[in-house]
Structure 1
Amino acid sequence: MKKLILSMALIGATTLAFGQKKVVKSASKNYKKGDLEVALSEINAATQDPETSEDPETYFIKAQIETKMFGSDSTNTAQNFEIGKSAYETFMKSFEMAGSNKEDGIGEDIWEEDVVGVPDNLRPYSINTLKNTSFDKAIERYNEDDLEMAYHFFDLAGDIAPQDTTIHYNAGFLANDLGMYEEAKKHFNMLLEVDDYNKLNTYYFLVQILSGQDENPEGAYDMVMAAREDYPGDKILAEYEIQLLLQLNKMDEAMASIQNALKNDPNNASILLRSGYLKEKSGDMEGALEDYKKSVEADPEFYDGNFYTGALMLDRAREILAELNALPDDEWEEKSESMGKAADDYYEQAIPYFTKALEIQPDNTDVMEVLFQVHTRLKNEAKAEEYNKKLIELKGPNWIEG
């Protein structure tokens, strides 16, 4: 009797297992027919049953259903994205359950290549179909200026294809543009792992994020030095190196880098400016002024070069006047005319540089105020009044009190 009961129990278990396998087959059939909601409901039931929940094929079919649902929805909303994300997770679960082998069995089916443009019934609805579909959705969202969703669809495609440089560059670029800097670094760092890829722009982005948003000049400097190993002749990286050395207060190293950079690029206005800055910091005012002037000669439209040149000339003028005012009365009487003229000469020389700076940035009220003060000092009343009127227009009648 016990044997009969056991046999009946075995028959019942076999029937139940067979019933669940029928559900999986039905889900597969409905998926192929396009009855996706029914197919998903059936396959979800199968994933909850002990007999079919341990079979990687169950999850492979579920992922195919989700991928087809993902692709058939053209709204490309956050809700649609979640379906795609679920499909990716389901594919990966099936892949891991099957032994994570792309060359055999379910793993081979999961990673089957998807050829874009073939008839729908010939697409494998593999994880690569999911990747291509997500990429297409990213492009569609980008074209509609929905940059955030475009990023998320690129990100999903990138999770599937870590070596796809187009996907990761687009994802990193958008994330950076959206202020999603951790996400941007994720994708740019993945690009650095790809052999034979031109990483120069990727390095630029990472240096800017590290030095700017992350406020991590040490990390940015390390990134620049890694980049310079790959691109030793790049002039922008040379500028970044100098700028970061200055931020890190490594003045001797910065000057050595500047001198080396100027050997290769003697007319680089930005590097000439930094050379002048270092010389000014070290007390070499004549050398600083010479380099500032050279930066303007190299690029007359260089705002910083014009501003720094004019500013150093004003500093020299003020130093002369401060020295004059510190003299005893008898010496002051003797030297006031010559020293006053020397100061005025610097004021005069500064005017064209500040005038050019204002031409480059015509709404810069700080420069207008400097020009007002200089012309007032030199008794150029008409020019002083010209800047006074501009400042009243931009800052109000009481600008001089502010």
Structure 2
Amino acid sequence: MKKLFFTAALALLAMGVFAQKKVMKSAQKAFKKGSYEEATTLAKQAAENAETSGNSDVYSLLGKISLQKFIDGGLEDLELAKESLNWFNKALELADPKAKEDILEQALTNPLNDQEAVGGEQLGLLEYWLVGVANVALEDEDYAKAYPYLDLAYQITPSVDRAFFTGYAADNADNEEKAAEYFKIVVAATEAYGNKSYAFQKLIQSNIDGEKFDDALGYIRTAKDTFPDEELYGNWEVEVLIKAEKMDEAIANLNKIVEAGNADKVTYYTLGFLQWNNEQLTEAEVSAKKALEMDPNYLDAFYVAGSVIFNQGVEMMKEASMSVDDDAAYEAKKKAAQDRFKEALPMFEKLIAADADDVYALRPLSTIYDQLGMDAKRDEVLDKLEKLDGGE
């Protein structure tokens, strides 16, 4: 009796498995006929049944159904594309090697009809259409459309090149957060890649704009190691150090540029400006004058050199006033101060010639005229300042 019962149970089990396989066959037939809703209902029924839920073919079919609906809808409904991708990924988890090969088979353009694809019918076909739409959108500079298609395509076949163009599309669509995610993938890649510098620059600028200076410096320094011949990153490092108020580091970096023989007039001017603000007056004067050697009409460098020399003259006059009981010492310090004023004089006059209303040049100039006994010019400058300050 037990044997009879056991045999009957096995028969019922076999009938159940057969029934579910029949459901799958019916689902496949419905799909081929274009009855997608019926095919979906039957395939999901098979997916929910214990006898067939572990069969990768079930999920491949569901992926094909969503993919075909995506294609028939003019490749516009990305939710269907995402749905298709999810089903195919589920199929891959369960598939044997041969089934995986089928799922991943690449689709190619039909050489006889460039509007058709041949080859793969699953993930490869989904990727084919996603990339096709994205490429057209990129050519049309419709980045808002290109980005989500590229984002899905990257999930199918990740690569540095695809990461870059996905980030590029996101960036131009003003999706900075997603752009940064993809550009980080690009800069982290160990392989050489032509657009890696662009990705670095975007990440650096984004962090500067967000005042994340330490993060910006991290990318800058990695970029310097990656592109040792690119001067951009060294100059950028100095700029960010200044913004981050790390003056000593900024000065040290500029000195490295000078020592390497790569300094231009802007480098020397910037170094002089920072040294001046860091109260390194002797060094600041040397740097600013070096910039003027390179460009005798460099107005910004005149500001630094003139201001440093003027401030030194003022300090010398203060020292002279403290030596009133020693005539010789007083005269010596006064003469040294006047020599400094005489040197600064043409620098400020050069600035006034470029902009007659430059109060930052007029104010020290009035003091210089006064100290050098040029009373008429002093009064002229003072009158000018009074008018600019709203006195008339």
Matches of 1:373 and 1:111, distance apart in 2: 76
> In the alignment, is residue 22 of structure 1 matched against residue 22 of structure 2?
no
Structure 1 residue 222: Cα displacement: 3.5
- State the superposition RMSD in angstroms: 4.5
The answer (yes or no) to whether the contact 2:66–2:81 under 8 Å persists in 1 is yes
Name the residue aligned to 2:167: 172
Name the residue aligned to 1:186: 181
Structure 1 residue 240: Cα displacement: 3.3
**Deviations along 1:36-63, whole A, 9 cap, x unmatched?**
5554455444434444332211212222
Structure 1 residue 257: Cα displacement: 3.5
Name the residue aligned to 2:197: 200
Question: 1:73-222 to 2 correspondence within 5 Å?
Answer: 73-74=73-74, 76=76, 80-98=77-95, 104-118=97-111, 119=113, 120=116, 122-143=118-139, 145-165=141-161, 167-178=162-173, 180-191=175-186, 192-198=188-194, 199-213=196-210, 215-217=212-214, 219-222=215-218
Structure 1 residue 345: Cα displacement: 6.8
Matches of 1:272 and 1:194, distance apart in 2: 35
**Deviations along 1:133-172, whole A, 9 cap, x unmatched?**
223323344455543332222222222222241x221222
Name the residue aligned to 2:226: 230
The residue type equivalent to 2:58 in the other structure is: T
The answer (yes or no) to whether the contact 1:23–1:46 under 8 Å persists in 2 is no
Name the residue aligned to 1:53: 53
Between stretches 322-331 and 4-13, larger displacement belongs to: 322-331
CA 1:308/1:86 → structure 2, altered by over 3 Å: closer, same or farther? farther
The answer (yes or no) to whether the contact 1:154–1:171 under 8 Å persists in 2 is yes
Matches of 1:260 and 1:188, distance apart in 2: 29
Between stretches 340-349 and 263-272, larger displacement belongs to: 340-349
CA 1:323/1:74 → structure 2, altered by over 3 Å: closer, same or farther? farther
SS of 1:122 mapped into structure 2:
strand
Q: Give the percent of matched residue pairs that are identical in Structure 1 and Structure 2.
A: 17
Structure 1 residue 300: Cα displacement: 9.0
Structure 1 residue 96: Cα displacement: 1.4
SS of 2:108 mapped into structure 1:
coil
Question: 1:2-401 to 2 correspondence within 5 Å?
Answer: 3=5, 6=9, 9-10=12-13, 13-14=16-17, 16-30=19-33, 36=36, 39-74=39-74, 76=76, 80-98=77-95, 104-118=97-111, 119=113, 120=116, 122-143=118-139, 145-165=141-161, 167-178=162-173, 180-191=175-186, 192-198=188-194, 199-213=196-210, 215-217=212-214, 219-246=215-242, 247=244, 249=246, 251=248, 254-292=250-288, 294-295=290-291, 306-307=299-300, 309-310=302-303, 313-314=306-307, 317=310, 320=313, 346=344, 349-350=347-348, 352=350, 370=360, 379=380
Matches of 2:294 and 2:67, distance apart in 1: 58
CA 1:294/1:40 → structure 2, altered by over 3 Å: closer, same or farther? farther
User: TM-score, normalised to structure 1's length?
Assistant: 0.69
The residue type equivalent to 2:227 in the other structure is: Y
The answer (yes or no) to whether the contact 2:108–2:117 under 8 Å persists in 1 is no
The residue type equivalent to 2:22 in the other structure is: G
Matches of 2:32 and 2:311, distance apart in 1: 88
Matches of 1:204 and 1:146, distance apart in 2: 23
Count of residue pairs the alignment pairs up: 364
Matches of 2:295 and 2:89, distance apart in 1: 56
Which ranges in structure 2 are unaligned for 5 or more consecutive residues?
A: 325-330, 368-377
**Deviations along 1:190-230, whole A, 9 cap, x unmatched?**
2232523243333333333344426141x433333333333
CA 1:62/1:27 → structure 2, altered by over 3 Å: closer, same or farther? farther
User: TM-score, normalised to structure 2's length?
Assistant: 0.71
Matches of 1:220 and 1:92, distance apart in 2: 37
Structure 1 residue 183: Cα displacement: 2.2
CA 1:261/1:317 → structure 2, altered by over 3 Å: closer, same or farther? closer
The answer (yes or no) to whether the contact 2:133–2:146 under 8 Å persists in 1 is yes
SS of 2:150 mapped into structure 1:
helix
The answer (yes or no) to whether the contact 1:26–1:42 under 8 Å persists in 2 is no
The answer (yes or no) to whether the contact 2:306–2:344 under 8 Å persists in 1 is yes
The answer (yes or no) to whether the contact 2:143–2:169 under 8 Å persists in 1 is yes
The answer (yes or no) to whether the contact 1:168–1:187 under 8 Å persists in 2 is yes
Matches of 1:12 and 1:144, distance apart in 2: 57
The answer (yes or no) to whether the contact 2:307–2:344 under 8 Å persists in 1 is yes
Matches of 1:257 and 1:177, distance apart in 2: 33
The answer (yes or no) to whether the contact 2:313–2:341 under 8 Å persists in 1 is yes
**Deviations along 1:59-94, whole A, 9 cap, x unmatched?**
122223323333444474xxx222222222222111
Matches of 2:139 and 2:358, distance apart in 1: 42
